[in-house]
Amino acid sequence: MTMTRGTVLLALVISVNLIYAQEPTTLEDGAPLFSPVTWDRLVNAADEPQNWLMYSGTFDSQRFSRLNQINTENAATLELKWTHHIPQLDRNETTPLVVDGVMFITESPSNLTAVDAATGRPYWRYEHELPDDLRVCCGRNNRGVAILGETLYMSTLDAHLVGIDARSGSLLWSTEVADYQQGYSKTAAPLIVKDKVITGIAGGEFGIRGFLDAYDANTGTREWRTYTIPGPDNPDNRSWAGDSWRTGGSPTWITGSYDPELNLVYWGTGNPGPDYNGEVREGDNLYADSVLALDGDTGDMSWYFQFTPHDVHDWDAIQIPVLADIEIDGTPRKTMLWANRNAFYYTLDRETGEFLVGKAFARQTWAEGLDENGRPIRRPNMLPSAEGTLVSPTAGGATNWWSPAFSPRTGLLYVNAFDGEAEFFIRDEEYRAGDRYTGGGTDSPLPIDNYASAIRALDPTTGDLQWEFPIKARSRAGVLATAGDLVFSGSVDGYFYALDAVTGEELWHIPLSGRMNANPMTYAVDGQQYVTMPVGNVVYTFGLPD
Q: Which residues contact 315 (CB under 8 A, 6 or more apart)?
A: 271, 289, 307, 308, 340, 341, 342, 393, 395, 397
Beta bridge partners of 263: none
The C-alpha atoms of residue 54 and residue 44 are separated, in whole angstroms, by 12
Write the single-letter amino acid at 265: V
The C-alpha atoms of residue 101 and residue 21 are separated, in whole angstroms, by 17
Count of residues making up the chain: 546
The beta strand positions in 61-190, using DSSP E, are 64-65, 79-85, 97-99, 102-107, 111-116, 122-127, 145-148, 151-155, 160-165, 171-176
- Cβ burial, residue 59 (10 Å; 0-12/13-18/19+): buried
Residue of 314, 316, 419, 485 marked active site: 314
Residue 428 annotated among the catalytic residues of the structure: no
3-class DSSP string for 314-381: CCCCCCCCEEEEEEECCEEEEEEEEECCCCEEEEEECCCCCEEEEEECCCCCCEEEECCCCCEEECCC
The beta strand positions in 217-289, using DSSP E, are 222-227, 257-259, 264-268
> 449 by DSSP, 3-state: which?
helix
Whether the CB-CB separation of 142 and 164 falls below 8 Å is answered with no
Catalytic residues: 314
